Structure 1
Amino acid sequence: MTRPTSPTRSPQRLDDAVTGGIGDSPSRPDSTLKVTGEYAYSSDLWAEDMLWGSTLRSPHPYARIRSVDVSEALKQPGVHAVLTHQDVPGENVYGLKVSDTPVLAVDVVRHQGEPVALVAADHPETARRALAKIVVAYEVLEPVTDPERAAHDDTLPELHPGGNIVRYQPVVQGDPEAEAEVVVSDVYTMGMQDQAFLGPESGLAIPGEDGGVDLFLATQWLHVDQKQTARALGLPLDKVRFTMSGVGGAFGGREDLSMQIHCCMLALHTGKPVKMVYNRLESFYGHVHRHPAKMYYEHGATKDGKLVYVKARMYFDGGAYASKTPVVVSNATSLGTGPYVVPNVRIEGWGVYTNNPPCGAMRGLGAVQPAFAYELQMDKLAGALGMDPVRLRQINAVREGASLHTGQVLDSPAPVAELLERLARMPLPPEDTTTPRDVRTLPGGLSNTSHGEGVVRGVGYSVIIKNVSYAEGVDDYSTARVRLEVIGGAPVALVHTAAAEVGQGLITVHQQIARSELGVERVTIHPADTQVGDAGSSSASRQTYITGGAVRDACAAVRQAVFDRVARRFGEDSAGLTLTGGKVVSATGAVLDLVEVLGEEAIEETREYHHLRTYKMDPVTGQSRRVHVQHAYAAHRAVVEVDTGLGLVKVVQLDCAQDVGKAVNPDAVVGQIQGGSTQGLGLAVMEEIKVREGKIRNPSFTDYLIPTILDTPPMRIDVLERADPHSPYGVRGVGEPPTISATPAVVNAIRDATGLNLTHTPVSPEQLCGS
């Protein structure tokens, strides 16, 4: 493991007298509670005299609702309310990008698991028994399940007004009909992946005396949830108050609404607190998943390996409702050639409606699918050229100042070739030549399936590009309120934002920033809620950048207010003052205790931080002067062993080199890379929601597999710090890039081991055994 070196520090702001600041790795304040099981997640919430809410869901992917009879459910003892779409007090529709999702189904259901009715009862089992007594008469229809056909076949039913295409985006650069000496092509497919967070959807709604409602929940974006919920409830924003509770993982699956409106409806209808907690089965139906994709790719190159053109057609299955499908298409097409210079490009991307499960945000949104395809293509091209796959990538790698195929010029370091070089220099793990081999080291070894016969080793590389933060003209900003006051005889900073801590360690980062900027040890984080300005979503690897920028700016304003107070009261020149170790120090060396300066009069400042402006992609050419505000880069090398007889895979090692711009918390950075890499490994070899005719066939962790510690290999992590001059402290997003690059590295390694032209992920034993 290589730690970040030579951190960039500003003597005026970053103070060596205060520990736990920028560049340090302080302990997370929630860590002890989490590892001891004492941490309170949203599913642990409780209120006196509360009811339990539950949801009736459609068993059909596509059907007309002929009638709904709730009379028997209402007779069930202990039932306080049974609600249908007729009981939605405001607008019966919501959506992140397109308002197309009913709060409760009206006359048609478009996917299996769509909510039809709600029950509130005095016990969760009572609520479930009442659900079973609701009688819904359905006219079952033939579902639309093929996304490519949905994009082009006008004979299919229109699932929404305007047709089945959510977004079509082409990108054209140079000569789209260019020819090349060496050409490789193939069709790549990616299955539907689940976020598989450990804590299912949950929340507690409490009706307010003012006719409003307070909801305590696990989410990724408080303010957008608040806005959508308020509209459905027919209430003004100030009467819908949301507060973050403990989140048991997110990865994009909590960006869309699940129980938010339902829980609040039941609370307002009954006048009692209502708690909703999904079980694992319902969670699979209740949140969006990663978009499955089908991608046609063709690469052309000269005989010496220079890329001449890339042509691609990509189809993304958005399922029944739009969610983040427009963004997936944008990211996929704008990043679809990878971190390479390609003079001639024609890419087309379609995001479509089907009757498959709804798909939306998941870690690496829209960048994961094309990266799988273009990185397998690069290995295939290297084979056709007889060239080392690392060298081929380095020859074509982008650098600072290069133009992407959208016309955007990279205005910060892009050390793609260096990342690959660092990976290639890492020693490979030695092969086990002992006879017989320890079965625990073999594919499927803990099941004693093999003793080494038919086991082959392979090595695979990948390198990817990932956008950070919102794009295409969205005003990406965050708000922070910082208060500095004396408590218990010591200066204490209070940081208040609406940014969602979803396990990534954001609260620790905010403490580090405040310590560094204000020179105080004690920093308290206010619970995130909607009583402060919007912080945007904890997604797109943006929070350290955007909300970190807001906290930094609010701290700077507080610091300046301290200096102004000193100047007024003590006659010092505010321009020559610094904060250090709870002291105010003048240019002449005079020292004032911060406690004395503050007295009983606290200082509080609120600031918004906005990043550089971005611009929409041209709807015809896809060109834009700046689609994305920032790009991140990660590279992986995977070493695998494959049992060719049984089709079992063991990832022996999964090494990563990544540019993080600035490691605010080095230990957390390494942890994020390890976690992201493991998630990408899961997509490579095991994670897929199986959908047949619109129905999920494996909605449980018994049949939907995720990596455990036994599947997680050793990882060497090489962290680069090539600062982005446009971001606070030079930071880049960290969590998503390794998720993206791990998958193709593992699959390329399996292809190297077996010689098979694998084109689908996850790779299954059936693919490896030819059945």
Structure 2
Amino acid sequence: MENTISFGINGKRYDIHKPGDITLLKYLRDYQGLLGAKNGCNQGHCGTCTVIVDGKAKRACLIKLSKLDGANIETIEGLSKDGKLHPIQDAFVKEGAVQCGFCTPGMVMAAKALLDANLNPSDEEIKEALKFNICRCTGYAAIIRAVKKAAAVIYGSLKESLKTEITKTGIGESPVKKDAFAKVTGRPIFADDIYFKDMLHGKLLLSAYPFAKVNSIDAAGAFKQPGVVKVLTAMDIPGRNGFGLLNPHQPVFAQDVVRYMGDPVALILAETEEQAETALKYIKVDYEPLQGVFSPEEGMKSDAPLIHKDGNVMKHVKVRRGDVDRAFARADIIIEGTYTTPMVEHAYLEPESAVAWVEEDGTVVVMTASQGSYAFREMISSALDIAEEKVRVIYTPAGGAFGGKEEPTVQIHCALGAVYTGRPVKMTLTRQESLIMSTKRHWEKMYYRHGATRDGRVIAVEAKIIADAGAYESLSQPVVFRSAVVGAGPYDIPNVKIDSYGVYTNNPPGGAFRGFGSTQVAFGAEQQMDKIARCLDMDPFEIRKINGLKEGRATITGQVLKKDCAYLKTLEEVEKALARCKESLPKPGPGKRIGIGIASSYKNVGLGAGKRDRAGASIEIDSKGTVYLKVGATDMGQGSDTVLTQMASEVTGIPYEEFTVISNDTAQTIDGGVTTASRQTYISGHAVAGAARELRKIISDLLIDTVGLRERDYEFSNDGVILKKKGKFNANVENNFITYKGLYAMAAENKVNLKAEYIYTAPTTYSLRERADHQAKVPLEKYNIHFAYCFNTQAAIVEVDEKTGEVKVLKIIAAQDLGRAIHPQNCHCQLEGAIVMGIGYGLSEEFKLVDGKMVTDNLAKLKLPKSIHVPEMETILVEEESDGPFGAKGMGEVPINSTAPAIISAIYDATGVRVENLPASKEKILEGLKNINWGHSS
């Protein structure tokens, strides 16, 4: 038949008449329900949609269906057979190569294409094969290990059968992550994978200007377009037209004024996404452009236009300790420096997405990825003007977040659309929409002045820090606070004056991002320490040991640290590891120089600063015998579901595999607070341990009462309770065994509820004091702005090309103080992911705007690190038990902080060029090389 093509998908033939202009990705997802190929950018930049076409890895978003006549296509759905994982999938699971999971199906298919052609690939061949597939979570190292392992397994299976691996699941072991199987098989678990019958699609009309008055909005033309069901604007919001975790002043729909180009002014709901997109062009908005503010320094000027009526300076935080002027007067050396760090995009691979509908009882249900469903529920209910109990937010796995999904983008609009139309509504941002709407890491400018004595003691620090808060507050207040309170680095410095400012601009809002204000100042503070060490001709480790925080020493805010401060241990571990590898350092090639740099950092665990920090958890056994762990924590790929299950298993005695985890569902879980501040292992961990203790007691009392056996007389298995000796007769006991279903029945007969809940509140913290100097009548605990800190030290070895300015990171050594490692494999993988993100921050990543207009408008322009950029990484876990659950603290954020400053110091060590404005592009290095006298020693 004319205009008919035929191809195979996973061995099944398909005949398509008039395929038109659709892509293979759209055909797989929308027409065949094969949702394993994910849509991360629709431009071929991320690789999440990778499939195999005629034996080659191809990005499905780039291939037109009409070009596939006669092709054989393989997708992730065809990989596992009869419920058994393919060796590649199995290796990804066992090597911990699955975190958020959004990139995983594409990675697996790219790996399969490689191994189908080459069963003995080198590391470089693996990196090359995966270079079109971005992973923002793992740092690629675990993925590379998984591909190597899979190659060995496939090759080995020709000779002998594999022995089943036994995985230990206790505290300090590394069981398979709870969500790994769903993610490695490409199951439809993300919000954009959800489809409903009669579902509408929503698209937002975003502002045409970074700053403008809105005189009128005319949507009459859009209503006439095919498929359009409804157009909503600010006039249609029943309740509060504003959202924000701390200050709900960011409009759901801009009404009188737009303050950045991500402000929505209208929503179109149509039968298809394409129809909604087309109809946007027919909305007429009468704008009156205003003079904008595009840098925080500009915003601080007295004559700057006001973005908000209360002024452009959103927050000013002061840290004061000792007598700075007097200390500088007696300093032997004074080192000054001005540093800038760029605005950075989170670049999670899953664009923001939500699906909403209204239940028969009027409950509005929203399924979406977030870092706190309860926070989203409050904001949605406020906009809808209905009780919070009439809104249910169900967490769908986040395909990456890193802080960027703490606040809504499309979720409120989606709920509004469902309420107004009575039909399910889905909204998924394009990559371009996500880039301009979403929050960013704050651009910061830092002026530092350090005073030190000849023996290396830093006695004074003065700093002024200015952060770009963007158009709305978001989480800028605590970010600006964090930049101030850790602004001098992990050192005991007796005299401090730090001023940190957050300033409104007409740029995208600055929000939460891994490191949360500590990342930027770590760069400035550590460059200062490197300069001091060089000025004094002192070893970079030694100067940090002299000044480093330890038990009994105080932070710059006056907090005296406890025994769980292992900063000096991280220094020692990196120093030893570096000494070992120095012996085998490669010799630089012609025109290249090798350098080594050191950096350290620290960051809080938990919210702190006097805020109540709490989380709840529950554990129950239902009538079917299913054991549920229900937590408010959000697992974004970092593994909280897994470590919390390990804790529940350890305390109850019920095997790890038996638990089913439900997280972050406002109808089923107790609020766990927002997943931020590296807090969930500590806070939710304590909550889980408390619930587990209570359930264990409930079961113990039940078995004493019903069969007369104490804990020593029974044990839990994967199927139920094994009675070690005969007890009293009970109908639910058969062959000295009680199934979990039988245990429930036994409890029901005795009117016992097999459910335990526990809410944990963290240790009390206090607001930052006006002065950090200890006062005789003030208890030392009043200086505790946080209940715990984590520390990190890294060494970077780099090679710099003198002719091109290009930097190759050869190796990173990282030691992390984290308390006890609950899941060591995952801790190492988190470190690797943070390091590679830090490499991007140091060398390439920057979200660029010109007068508020986006220049960096796709993933490729973000210059994210790829597999080909991954150096050798040596990660070291430093375990000094804290008062966290099982001795754990946290670790997800702080490792990113040390990487960039270590690299920049290494570049200086190699070339004498110190880049003080990140990222350290080759152009900046080349410019610096022009002024270098090569007579210096490196």
Tell me, yes or no, whether TM beats 0.5.
yes
Q: Is the CA contact 2:167–2:174 (under 8 Å) kept in the aligned structure 1?
A: no
Structure 2 SS opposite 1:247: coil
State how far apart, in whole Å, the 2-side matches of 1:134 and 1:210 are: 34
Measure how far apart 1:157 and its partner are: 2.0
Measure how far apart 1:547 and its partner are: 1.2
* Counterpart check, 1:346 vs 2:504: no
State how far apart, in whole Å, the 1-side matches of 2:243 and 2:697 are: 43
* Counterpart check, 1:555 vs 2:654: no
Summarize the alignment of residues 69-148 of structure 1 with structure 2, pairs less than 5 Å apart: 69-148=218-297
**CA displacement, residues 646-680 of structure 1 (integer Å, 9 cap, x when unaligned):** 12111000111111211111111111111111111
* Counterpart check, 1:311 vs 2:459: no
Structure 2 SS opposite 1:507: helix
Selected match of 2:627 from 493, 512, 526: 493
Q: Is the CA contact 2:322–2:773 (under 8 Å) kept in the aligned structure 1?
A: no
Kindly tell me: are residues 98 and 578 of structure 1, through their superposed partners in 2, closer, same or farther at Cα, counting changes over 3 Å?
A: farther
* Counterpart check, 1:65 vs 2:214: yes
Match of 1:505 in 2: 639
Range 111-120 or range 419-428, more displaced: 419-428
Match of 1:566 in 2: 703
Measure how far apart 1:325 and its partner are: 0.6
Match of 1:7 in 2: none
Measure how far apart 1:524 and its partner are: 1.0
Summarize the alignment of residues 336-485 of structure 1 with structure 2, pairs less than 5 Å apart: 336-426=487-577, 427-428=580-581, 430-433=584-587, 452-484=589-621
Match of 1:729 in 2: 886
Q: Is the CA contact 2:715–2:724 (under 8 Å) kept in the aligned structure 1?
A: no
State how far apart, in whole Å, the 2-side matches of 1:765 and 1:714 are: 21
Kindly tell me: are residues 397 and 587 of structure 1, through their superposed partners in 2, closer, same or farther at Cα, counting changes over 3 Å?
A: farther
Match of 1:442 in 2: none
Measure how far apart 1:480 and its partner are: 0.7
Measure how far apart 1:149 and its partner are: 3.5
Selected match of 2:841 from 661, 683, 693: 683
**CA displacement, residues 252-302 of structure 1 (integer Å, 9 cap, x when unaligned):** 000011001111111111111000011110110121010010001111110
* Counterpart check, 1:705 vs 2:856: no
Structure 2 SS opposite 1:471: coil
**What is the identity, as a one-letter code, of the residue corresponding to 2:581?**
L
Selected match of 1:158 from 306, 324, 334: 306
State how far apart, in whole Å, the 2-side matches of 1:57 and 1:745 are: 40
Q: Is the CA contact 2:202–2:425 (under 8 Å) kept in the aligned structure 1?
A: yes
**CA displacement, residues 146-179 of structure 1 (integer Å, 9 cap, x when unaligned):** 212423x222122112111211111100112122
* Counterpart check, 1:44 vs 2:190: no
Q: Is the CA contact 1:500–1:528 (under 8 Å) kept in the aligned structure 2?
A: yes
Match of 2:320 in 1: 172
State how far apart, in whole Å, the 1-side matches of 2:570 and 2:725 are: 43
**What is the identity, as a one-letter code, of the residue corresponding to 1:754?**
T
State how far apart, in whole Å, the 2-side matches of 1:577 and 1:110 are: 67
Structure 2 residues without counterparts, runs of 5 or longer? 1-94, 96-165, 748-752, 775-781, 929-938
Structure 1 SS opposite 2:868: coil
Match of 1:267 in 2: 418
Kindly tell me: are residues 30 and 334 of structure 1, through their superposed partners in 2, closer, same or farther at Cα, counting changes over 3 Å?
A: same
Structure 2 SS opposite 1:355: coil
**What is the identity, as a one-letter code, of the residue corresponding to 1:658?**
Q
Q: For the pair shown, which has the larger CA radius of gyration, 1 or 2?
A: 2
Q: Is the CA contact 1:42–1:203 (under 8 Å) kept in the aligned structure 2?
A: yes
Match of 1:184 in 2: 335
Selected match of 1:628 from 786, 792, 796: 786
Q: Is the CA contact 1:565–1:597 (under 8 Å) kept in the aligned structure 2?
A: no
Structure 1 SS opposite 2:872: coil
Structure 1 SS opposite 2:483: helix
State how far apart, in whole Å, the 2-side matches of 1:88 and 1:281 are: 26
Structure 1 SS opposite 2:261: coil
State how far apart, in whole Å, the 1-side matches of 2:649 and 2:689 are: 10
Range 250-259 or range 728-737, more displaced: 728-737
Selected match of 2:661 from 515, 525, 543: 525
Range 614-623 or range 262-271, more displaced: 614-623
**What is the identity, as a one-letter code, of the residue corresponding to 2:217?**
V
Range 478-487 or range 586-595, more displaced: 586-595
Q: Is the CA contact 1:18–1:580 (under 8 Å) kept in the aligned structure 2?
A: no
State how far apart, in whole Å, the 2-side matches of 1:300 and 1:69 are: 61
* Counterpart check, 1:748 vs 2:905: yes
Range 211-220 or range 585-594, more displaced: 585-594
Q: Is the CA contact 2:615–2:670 (under 8 Å) kept in the aligned structure 1?
A: yes
State how far apart, in whole Å, the 2-side matches of 1:242 and 1:577 are: 43
State how far apart, in whole Å, the 2-side matches of 1:606 and 1:352 are: 43
Range 614-623 or range 65-74, more displaced: 614-623
**What is the identity, as a one-letter code, of the residue corresponding to 1:312?**
A
Match of 2:481 in 1: 330
**CA displacement, residues 621-661 of structure 1 (integer Å, 9 cap, x when unaligned):** 69951111210011111111111221211100011111121
Q: Is the CA contact 1:486–1:600 (under 8 Å) kept in the aligned structure 2?
A: no
State how far apart, in whole Å, the 2-side matches of 1:364 and 1:622 are: 27
Match of 1:669 in 2: 827
Q: Is the CA contact 1:315–1:351 (under 8 Å) kept in the aligned structure 2?
A: yes
Matched length: 733
**What is the identity, as a one-letter code, of the residue corresponding to 1:697?**
V
Measure how far apart 1:568 and its partner are: 3.1
Summarize the alignment of residues 240-319 of structure 1 with structure 2, pairs less than 5 Å apart: 240-319=391-470
Q: Is the CA contact 2:631–2:664 (under 8 Å) kept in the aligned structure 1?
A: yes
**What is the identity, as a one-letter code, of the residue corresponding to 1:750?**
I
**CA displacement, residues 304-333 of structure 1 (integer Å, 9 cap, x when unaligned):** 101111111101111000011110111111
Match of 2:802 in 1: 644
TM-score after normalising by structure 1: 0.91
**What is the identity, as a one-letter code, of the residue corresponding to 2:206?**
R
State how far apart, in whole Å, the 1-side matches of 2:167 and 2:528 are: 50
State how far apart, in whole Å, the 1-side matches of 2:168 and 2:339 are: 49
TM-score after normalising by structure 2: 0.75
State how far apart, in whole Å, the 1-side matches of 2:457 and 2:633 are: 44
State how far apart, in whole Å, the 1-side matches of 2:569 and 2:385 are: 55
Identity %: 37
Q: Is the CA contact 1:484–1:558 (under 8 Å) kept in the aligned structure 2?
A: no
Q: Is the CA contact 1:18–1:515 (under 8 Å) kept in the aligned structure 2?
A: no
Measure how far apart 1:22 and its partner are: 1.5
Structure 1 residues without counterparts, runs of 5 or longer? 4-16, 435-451
State how far apart, in whole Å, the 1-side matches of 2:503 and 2:713 are: 58
* Counterpart check, 1:714 vs 2:872: yes
State how far apart, in whole Å, the 2-side matches of 1:169 and 1:307 are: 22
Measure how far apart 1:482 and its partner are: 0.5
Measure how far apart 1:554 and its partner are: 0.5
The CA RMSD over aligned residues, in Å, is 2.3
